Amino acid sequence: MIALNPDCRYFLYRIPVNINKSFYSLAAIVREQMHTAPVSRDVFIFLNNKRNQIKLLVWQGDGFAIFHKRLEEGTFELPVFLHDQQHVVISYSQLILILQGISLNRVHYRKRFHRENINH
């Protein structure tokens, strides 16, 4: 079981993948294309060309786990990328919105406390 939480980092891969790829093929993309360690306990997100299927890959300490979702209608929305970015780090909230089909362009985030905003 994949546990999603706000403390994880979520890496969304921009380039569509063959959604039939499994654990080690996706881990190779993480290592070779995203230049990140697939065993880092971060969550790596992949979409197919039609953007109607999504896979999440995560290392759970003793092996990889995959969450795979296929939409019967519609597509998954992507956040805005810079033209040369192969991947982007998204927040837990953004991932949940993507999975639920909520438009990222219309979401308004209200002000909240963030630990990194503390000046020492």
Q: Is 102 helix (H, G, I), strand (E, B) or coil?
A: coil
CA–CA separation, 25 vs 16, rounded Å? 14
Q: Which two tokens stand for residue 3?
A: 């546990």
Per-residue pLDDT of 34-71, as tens digits, reads 999 999 989 999 999 999 999 999 999 999 999 999 99
Over its C-alpha atoms, the chain yields an Rg (Å, rounded) of 15
Note the pLDDT of residue 7.
86
Q: Which of the 8 DSSP states describes residue 36?
A: S
Q: What is the pTM of this model?
A: 0.85
Among 33, 9, 22, 19, residue whose Cα is nearest residue 76: 19
Q: Write down the mean pLDDT value for the chain.
A: 88
